[in-house]
Amino acid sequence: METVTKERLLGRVLRSSTTSLTVGCRTLEADIPVFGSLVQAERADGSSVYGLIHDVRVDDDPFVRQLIAAGDLSEEYVQDQRQRRQVPVEVAVLVVGGRSSDGRVFYVLPPQPPATLSWVSVCSDSEVRQFGEKLAFVRTVLNATDAPGDDLLPAALSRIAAVQGSTDLENAYLVRAGQELARLLSRDPMRLDGILQRMR
């Protein structure tokens, strides 16, 4: 397992279940991962849970309501308040697998979710490549009821393809992913076409 650098830390688990988790972070920065990014949450036994970001929620807090009602605000003041939010930004994650304590990647739901306040980090390019080697997670995303699977899957597959190392490997990965989608959605050509269009 790779050492997680401070730059890759996303936040801490606010809520979790076997199928999803919500991460709390202080603010949205340019380097905070976006829709479709692969992240991992640590577990106490040394294993981790993998998931795909499918929603980001920025709730207001009581102080922000008062500031907006007050009228004109300097840009410096706005930036200061964004950095010192009283309510965390919430990042929703669809669980798609994990890594056992001995380093093996699995593509089924974990036996237990991560505990609250566990660290969640952005996966490195090598971790993304390793996770994406098998396409077993595709079915999990397609069957998701609490995430927009038809939008999430193309975003995730494109991000995995982008770290393959070359344009040829990227294209080959997308072709392989398209073939898997065609197999899984052979009885739903309209849905298949919609997903493939989003991957282009």
**CA-based end-to-end distance of the chain:** 33
- And the tokens for 121? 């980090």
Reading the chain (200 residues) residue by residue, the pLDDT tens digits are: 556 666 688 999 999 999 999 999 876 665 567 899 999 999 988 999 999 999 998 877 666 666 666 667 667 766 666 666 666 889 999 999 999 999 999 999 998 999 999 999 999 999 999 999 999 999 999 999 999 999 999 999 999 999 999 999 999 999 999 999 999 999 999 999 999 999 88
Indicate the pairing of strand 38-42 with strand 105-106. Answer: unpaired
The angle subtended at Cα 20 by Cα 131 and Cα 99, nearest 5°, is: 30
